[in-house]
Amino acid sequence: MESDLLLRILQFYPIFLFSLTIHEIAHALTANWGGDMTATYQNRLSLNPVVHMDLFGTVIIPLLPMFLSTGGIALFGWARPVPVNEARFRDTAWNVVVALAGPFSNLLLVLFGTLLMGFAYNVGVWGELGGWWVLSDELLASFATFVYFFVAINFALCIFNLIPVPPLDGSHVFYHFFVRGRGHLYGAWDIYQRLGIFILIVVVQIVPHGLFGAPIRAAFKLLTPEMAYGLFGIV
């Protein structure tokens, strides 16, 4: 039991931290491009995941389900929000660009992982057919498991962070288009922000088995050897 738990943590958490770190760096870097260097001054362009970690969103939410369940993992979580000074942006539209940069970085990592899987199977199959080398089933299985988690986690982070609930990225997009400039909504938005964490607790319980379960399973299917062969020209 303990060995299974440790294995799940080792398979999941390093990839989760890496993906979340890239997500936050994408926010900070895009803010720089928009004219705000606040995140850079506060060391949020760092590859050190510790500077981005949030106790609740980066530790408790992702890891607690592993200790409470017999086999599941939480594919969702978030980091400390990247500090942004909107007054320094060249245009208010950069609020949206910066917010979407994080999920977009995860989408790029999904694409990278899928391409990596296809490349690996091409190398393995053509190497075996040509008699150059033969990759063991154990090595292929380990690599496939790694890419499976890599794509699944990044896919989930991309979708989850687009939910318009504070402090997720989708809430900044929602605020920009539906709340900004409408003073009569500011009070309601302030209450909504205060309730954000509690709403997310409910979302975390519902989303994996509901609204986003089907697309996540579809992403998993893209990583099967048969699909990889089809996608990358191997029959």
pLDDT digits (tens, 9 = 90+) for 34-53: 999 999 999 999 999 999 99
pLDDT digits (tens, 9 = 90+) for 162-201: 999 998 999 999 999 999 999 999 999 999 999 998 888 7
Residue in 100, 101, 11 with CA at minimum distance from that of residue 62: 11
pLDDT digits (tens, 9 = 90+) for 56-69: 888 887 887 777 76
DSSP code of 54? -
Domains of the chain by residue range = 2-231
- Distance (Å, rounded) from C-alpha 39 to C-alpha 82? 6
Q: What are 85's two structure tokens?
A: 């000074």
DSSP code of 45? T
Could you tell me if 100 and 169 are in contact, meaning their C-beta atoms sit under 8 angstroms apart? yes
- Distance (Å, rounded) from C-alpha 153 to C-alpha 157? 6
- Distance (Å, rounded) from C-alpha 34 to C-alpha 21? 20
**Residues taking part in catalysis:** 24
